[in-house]
Structure 1
């Protein structure tokens, strides 16, 4: 097992070197007093574990650990510190272990044993085939699972780790600056505390991705992050692809559209109510309404008016102020020959938007009503 040592204090490096030689299970591939040099070495040479001092000039060791994990997700990191509070924080960041200075030999031996065990687990997991049905569910609530229908779901350690994953997933492989993430997810915290929360959440997300078994990564570069989506799809991806339709003219097209509509089990991330998800939520709802109306139009056209009407009335409960839905309902009632229902639907819509929104129906709704009722 190859180890890299990074500490700005030579005496600390010397002690670690002596402990490693005495233990005999690790091989030192590099030792550095500057974080930058250590990062360059790890990027260019094989390493299994990095012993990393937390308190170093130029870059906090926790941030350096984040950069290392972004480069090599399976890299094991052991933080070394003289301060207990940093040790606790290091553990929260999902480090493999931490060591307090001066390092106790017996404690060091336990750490090496832990490294051996973790590397063995990582090698075993590398041989596991990733399920082809890995999917992220975003409609209604965020769920991760190898096979969601079977209920094989994973749970987040904290709500903020879950939101960070959702936020990066929402960006669709785009890079997001660290500042934007901090302002979005932790606007109420001071910079140092918000940064610590970010580091903690990044580690937790990376741990979740490993547990899930997909090849997705959180990458970090130029003070920015992105989620590289590998090994899974989302219900939103499938819905977006399937909702790109024109008029439905065949039963086969209707069946494909029905499968797409069934993906929409609730509004986008509805139960989490993330403010940053609102524009996407509204866009996906607009697509859902458009596709539902297209399906209802086909059903009405081939004589399945009751099915079309049931679909549209359910849609109306979701979006009661929609002129487009009102127009479609009136058309179906007219196709049934139920003129009284056409008039009732129109009048109730006029009353609803007048009382709640203090507005009137769109010109097209008024024109359609007049045409259907043969007015004027």
Structure 2
């Protein structure tokens, strides 16, 4: 197995080289004092393992690891760090192992046993029963993974920032997003170097979570950009958009099919997460939901099911309390039920809401129609 060593401290580099040469199980094909020089080697010659120092100037080990994965995702990384144990968890997520400086022969032997004695352990871990069952991702109301075999399983995001970074990548999935754009949106108040370090650590947390869930999802990195590539993973938002129909309902069978689509909308897109970058899509999906649900309510009224329509429309008013279209159909439902007290109370409450919240009155067409009913 071929290995290269990357560490900006020459004494540490030479020490590790001596230990590996004395052991003899790996062939050292290059040693470098910067991440950029190591990357140039990997672009020209294949290596199986990279021993990578974390604390390097210009390009630290976390950033270098992203570039290495862009060159060859099969390369296994062993981090070398002077950080104490409390910080290790942030770095080992995407690594085969880590070594604390100064590296000892005994500790290095354990790493080599892991690398050479058990070939490709990471590849075995990537195949899991959950992958065959195709977990899916929900973004309506809140972002979460769902396991069809265990509906009660919870998505354990390491941090709220990990959840937001994944949400952002999912929002643009298939499209490359500049690293600087992610940093600016998620860590706007951080110093650039600290924000980038946080981003790399967060991406490791995300990749670890995806592997734990057996998600057929890959976080790719290239040319200072990230993108999310989805395999066999269902998204509730995409299912909703594909199934959306905005026109009138023509039959009972069509009404039933639409019900399945409307049921996907559990709440606004990422509604529990205050992400400003999601607001435009949030409004677009809400408008689609309201239009489609209104068409279903009209069909229910037309097929003599006013109580069913009223139940639906009351829920819709929670989403858009100022909508004149919703109010009109609510009033029609009350009229079809013969509940004219409910009709009058609802309209008076609606007028009061518009006046107190928006300082306006209902449109003249609707007001004239209400007067005719009375």
TM-score bin, normalised by smaller chain: 0.7 to 0.9
Separation in 2 of the partners of 1:256 and 1:44? 55
Give how far 1:145 is off: 3.1
Question: Equivalent residue for 1:370?
Answer: 368
Find the aligned partners of 2:267 and 2:88 in 1 and give their Cα distance.
38
1:3–1:27 CA contact under 8 A, matched in 2: yes
The alignment partner of 2:166 has SS state of: helix
Please tell me whether the aligned partners of residues 246 and 291 of structure 2 are also in contact (alpha carbons under 8 angstroms).
Answer: no
What do the CA deviations read for 1:91-113 (whole angstroms, capped 9, x no partner)? Answer: 41324433344421112112223
Matches within 5 A, 1:1-376: 1-43=1-43, 45-81=45-81, 83-84=82-83, 89=87, 91-93=89-91, 94=93, 95-116=95-116, 120-128=120-128, 130-147=131-148, 150-336=151-337, 341-361=342-362, 363=363, 366-371=364-369, 373-374=371-372
Query: Deviation digits for residues 47-73 of structure 1, max 9, x if unmatched?
Result: 332101234454222211122234444
Kindly tell me the number of residue pairs found equivalent between the two proteins: 371
TM-score by length of 1: 0.87
Query: Scaled by the length of structure 2, what TM-score is found?
Result: 0.88
1:111-155: CA deviation from partner (whole Å, max 9, x where unpaired): 223435775432323554623432111122221133276334441
Q: Are the counterparts in 1 of residues 2 and 47 from structure 2 also a CA contact under 8 Å? A: yes
Q: Judge conservation of contact 1:79–1:90 (CA < 8 Å) in 2.
A: no
Contact 1:173 1:226 in 2 (8 A): yes
Per-residue CA shift, 1:171-207, capped at 9, x if unaligned? 2322222222112111222222212211110111111
Q: Secondary structure at the match of 1:50?
A: strand
Distance 1:191 1:33, change over 3 A: closer
Contact preservation (8 Å) 2:49, 2:75 = yes
Shift of 1:311: 0.7
Contact 1:91 1:98 in 2 (8 A): no
> Which 10-residue stretch deviates more, 139-148 or 322-331?
139-148
Secondary structure at the counterpart of residue 245 of structure 1: coil
SS at match of 2:253: helix
Q: Distance in 2 between matches of 1:127 and 1:84?
A: 32
Alpha-carbon distance, 1:245 to partner: 3.4
CA distance in 1, matches of 2:56, 2:151: 48
How far off its partner does 1:246 sit?
Answer: 1.8
Cα separation, partners in 2 of 1:59 and 1:90, compared to 1, 3 Å? farther
Moved more, 144-153 or 101-110: 144-153
Structure 2 unaligned spans of 5+ = none
- Cα deviation, 1:190-232, whole Å, max 9, x if unaligned, reads 2222122111101111111222223322222232222122231
The farther-off stretch of 110-119 and 216-225 is: 110-119
CA positional deviation for 1:301: 0.9
The answer on whether the counterparts of 2:141 and 2:266 sit within 8 Å (CA) in structure 1 is yes
The superposition leaves residues 274-297 of structure 1 with CA deviations (integer Å, 9 ceiling, x where unpaired) of 333233222222222111111111
Alpha-carbon distance between aligned partners in 2 of 1:66 and 1:310, rounded to the nearest angstrom: 52
Contact 1:182 1:198 in 2 (8 A): yes
CA distance in 1, matches of 2:71, 2:335: 63
Instruction: Give the 3 Å change call, closer, same or farther, for CA 88–201 of structure 1 in structure 2.
Output: same
Task: State the 1:241 CA deviation.
Answer: 1.5
Taking structure 1 as reference, are residues 209 and 191 closer, same or farther at Cα in structure 2, changes over 3 Å only? Answer: same
Tell me the distance in 2 between the aligned counterparts of 1:245 and 1:46.
54
List structure 1 runs of 4+ shifted beyond 6 angstroms: none
Q: Answer yes or no: is the 8 Å Cα contact 2:134–2:232 preserved in 1.
A: no
Secondary structure, counterpart of 1:133 in structure 2? coil
Taking a change above 3 Å as real, the CA distance of residues 159 and 333 of structure 1, as seen in their structure-2 partners, is same
Q: Name the stretch that deviates more: 9-18 or 269-278.
A: 9-18
Distance verdict in 2 for CA 1:373–1:337, change over 3 Å: farther
